[in-house]
Amino acid sequence: MKKEICLCPASINWIRKHLLKSARGTFTRMITKGSIKKINGRLKKRKFSRKQLAAQRLFTKRAKAGTLRKRRR
């Protein structure tokens, strides 16, 4: 049995009124886009560029090397 909800303006206003404050903006964007799948792609964590990832690896490598040298003394 497939359940469907009515998305007339009155029901949208009722849903908005009863949502938590933090969820209202997301719900509004979902309604304006017309699809939940379209909005989910934007909520993912931002990916770093290759240069940023390489710099981070180099930074951690140098930091580890520095702590190893201190322990040996």
Judge whether 38 lies within some domain. Answer: yes
pTM of the full predicted structure? 0.38
Q: Of 5 and 53, which is predicted with more confidence? A: 53
How many other β-carbons are positioned within 10 Å of the β-carbon of residue 29? 13
Q: What does the pLDDT look like over 42-59, one tens digit per residue?
A: 556 678 899 999 999 999
Residue 4 located in a structural domain = no
Cβ proximity of 26 and 39 under 8 Å:
yes
Is position 61 within any domain? Answer: yes
Q: Tell me if 32 is assigned to some domain.
A: yes
Q: How far apart are CA 33 and CA 39, in angstroms?
A: 7
Residue 2 within any structural domain of the chain? no
Total domains present in the chain: 1
- Give domain status of residue 3, yes or no: no
CA distance 28 to 10: 14
- Looking at per-residue pLDDT, the higher value among 29 and 71 belongs to 29
The answer to whether 19 and 25 are in contact (CB under 8 A) is no
Residue 25 lies in a domain: yes
pLDDT, tens digit, for every residue of 11-50?
Answer: 888 888 888 888 888 888 777 766 655 555 555 667 889 9
Owning domain of residue 14: 9-72
* 48 domain residue, yes or no: yes
The reported pLDDT for the residue numbered 42 is 57
